[in-house]
Amino acid sequence: MADSPDQSEITLKGIPASEGIAYGRAFVFTQSDVEVPHYQVDAEKRIDEVARFDHALVLTRQQIAKIQAEVEENIGPEEARIFDAHLMVLEDQALITETIREFETTGLNIETCFNKISSRYIKAFSEIDDEYLRERASDIRDVAQRVLQNLLGQSDTSLSKLAGERIVVANDISPSDSAGLDRSTALAVVTDSGSRTSHAVIVARSMKVPAIVGMRDLTQRVRNGDWAIVDGYEGTVILNPTDSTLVRYGKIQEQKRNLEQQLMGANREPAVTLDGAKVALMANIEKVDEIRLVQDFNAEGVGLFRTEYLYLDSSRIPTEAEQTLAYRQVAAALAPNPVIIRTLDLGGDKPMAGNPHLFPKENNPFMGFRAIRFCLEHTDIFKDQLRAILAASAHGNIRLMYPMISGTEELARANALLDECKAELKARGTPFNAKLTVGTMIEIPSAAVTSDILAEKCGFFSIGTNDLIQYLLAIDRVNDRIAHLYEPTHPAVVRTLRQIIDAAHKKKINVSVCGEMAGDPVLVPLLLGLGVDALSMTPPLIPAVRFLIRGMKLGAAKKLADKALKLSDPKAIYALCAEFYREHMRLR
């Protein structure tokens, strides 16, 4: 409890990011940006200035390699791969070349030039809608700060020497700082900003340390040494907890441990309802090195391979051979399970920082030049990817999926290019699966409305609920002022889902959901009741969904969906789903 008896208990809410409950004293961690000097460099010293930049890059590379080795030894090889992205930033020739060009043009000190160019890259990535890809901005910011510190001869701060067990409270925590977390002293991680996919959160999850992000102003409300409870399940921080609160959380912690044991036990079993309905549970991945996660969480393949990460991890377009290798590795490792590869969803809110000429600035990138629209204009880039997917299809059960399809015309143009690629590979003598199954994402209202027509020309549908809900409700889900209006249980959403699913099943094709709804156990029964055949989600979400499915009947889920379709209030529909969830998620 708090030292001072006049301090009352305060409960604050954030976004749960790593499960668990912790109790202890707070440590407020602050790290300000490097103050960059601004001055002209004499002409005779310009060669030395570039040499100074080169030396700082080498030193930074050595420091990051050392951190990576320590993380691999103390936490694990997968977590150490976080720093591959940092090392790639230091090898980014576009970033380095643009910095030197800025220096040669302006004659300003190299710190100023590097700060300007790296800030431009950080801004580009921070504006990306995809949460996972937006974290690339943190990688660049972290590396940039370290380079600037080395240029200025400053030492970096560290979390590696906490004075005893502490709950770390910060505005945000960089990947380098998170690497310094010691599992013996870091009880929990709580940040004002950040996201569930930040590297600090990834490290916290690996260490089994509770984490909460998006607390807004906690660093202003807590003092060093304050007692706090961190509930990583609900995203709650309780300052100055009373004795009764401590007792209550002790019981909650025990219940959560029991539930987690049951979830992991059930995850070894098939996802079959009590009345015998089989549900395919698949994984969403971005990188080849996530194969182990797919296997560890017993996913039945990959329902969404976001291939744009291959492009955003580099300042250049990956070659056809590089892409073929990546797709083949995933397909071969997971065969005979399917791997659904989504073609490039670049452009608009996901520009490649090193290729600004490909991505003109747009006022409304969410509805702009992105995904299939970008690919159909840049057919050379698109065909490289299509040939790579085709070539990899000879090594596993690959399926291909187009994003952001708005109607049959785009689908026909994409398939025509696919046919050209098949002919080209056949002429080369490169083997591929000539019967490769081709499907489409349904994430634009026009595609939903014409789903009966699209179903005639597709092998399957995958509903991207994140964008579909955003477009249906005209809600920018990353806009804090209106994010509360983003409601997956809005009647328009529920009715649209039923329309898509019915259209697909009439043409005897399967429907999966790969958006956030698929990994939400409260909403899963509604999706299954509406007729969804498969669910694809972030691998760690699979155990809870599997556990729920094994304790419910599909017949009951269908009745739930029928009731939901008759309701007009989004909150009433959600309450109906929440009640169903509570009834079927009891410990068994």
Half-sphere exposure of 284 (CA within 13 A, CB side): 21
d(C-alpha 31, C-alpha 146), whole Å:
12
- Active-site annotation, residues: 199, 514
State the CB neighbour count (10 A cutoff) for residue 399. Answer: 24
What are 538's two structure tokens?
A: 């972030």
Rg (CA), the chain: 25
- DSSP assignment of 377-396 equals HSHHHHHHHHHHHHHHGGGS
State the CB neighbour count (10 A cutoff) for residue 540. Answer: 15
What are 533's two structure tokens?
A: 């055949």
Q: Quick one: residue 316, left, alpha or beta (phi over 0 = left, psi -120 to 50 = alpha)? A: beta
Residues 6+ apart with CB under 8 A from 340: 282, 301, 302, 303, 304, 305, 398, 399, 400, 401, 439, 462, 512, 536
State the CB neighbour count (10 A cutoff) for residue 569. Answer: 12
Strand residue runs (E) in 153-309: 166-170, 186-191, 211-213, 227-231, 236-239, 280-285, 302-306
Nearest to 263 by CA among 514, 551, 518, 515: 551
Which residues lie across from 400 on neighbouring strands? 341, 438
Residues 6+ apart with CB under 8 A from 362: 348, 368, 369
Which residues lie across from 462 on neighbouring strands? 441, 512
* β pairing state of 397-402 and 437-442: parallel
Alpha-carbon dihedral sign for residues 490, 492, 493, 499: positive
